[in-house]
C-alpha cells in the first residue's frame, strides 16, 4: 500500500509511480492497481507505457 490518505468524494489526489529503467532500452509497459472503498469501482487498473532511449 503506497498511502492510506483519505480523499473525500469529489476531491482529487495524486499518484506517483516509478519504473526502474536501468539497463533497459526500447518499449516498456507496467500496470498498477488502485484500491478504494468505492463500491462501484473498488479496484482501478492503470497501465503505464514508455519508450526508453
For all residues of the chain together, what is the average pLDDT?
Answer: 87
Nearest to 2 by CA among 14, 11, 20, 19: 14
18 within some domain: no
39 within some domain: yes
35 within some domain: yes
Nearest to 27 by CA among 7, 4, 48: 48
CA distances to 19, 20, 26, 53 from 23, in Å:
12, 9, 10, 11
- Predicted TM-score of the model (pTM): 0.63
**pLDDT (mean) for 11-31:** 90
Give the range of the structural domain holding residue 48, as residue numbers without chain letter. 24-53
7 within some domain: no
9 within some domain: no
Q: How many domains does the chain contain in total?
A: 1
38 within some domain: yes
Read off the pLDDT of residues 28-40 as tens digits, 9 standing for 90 and up.
999 999 988 889 9
Amino acid at each position: 500500500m503506497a498511502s492510506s490518505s483519505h480523499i473525500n468524494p469529489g476531491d482529487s489526489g495524486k499518484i506517483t509511480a516509478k519504473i526502474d529503467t536501468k539497463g533497459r532500452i526500447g518499449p516498456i509497459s507496467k500496470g498498477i492497481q488502485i484500491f478504494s472503498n468505492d463500491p462501484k469501482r473498488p479496484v482501478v487498473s492503470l497501465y503505464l507505457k514508455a519508450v526508453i532511449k
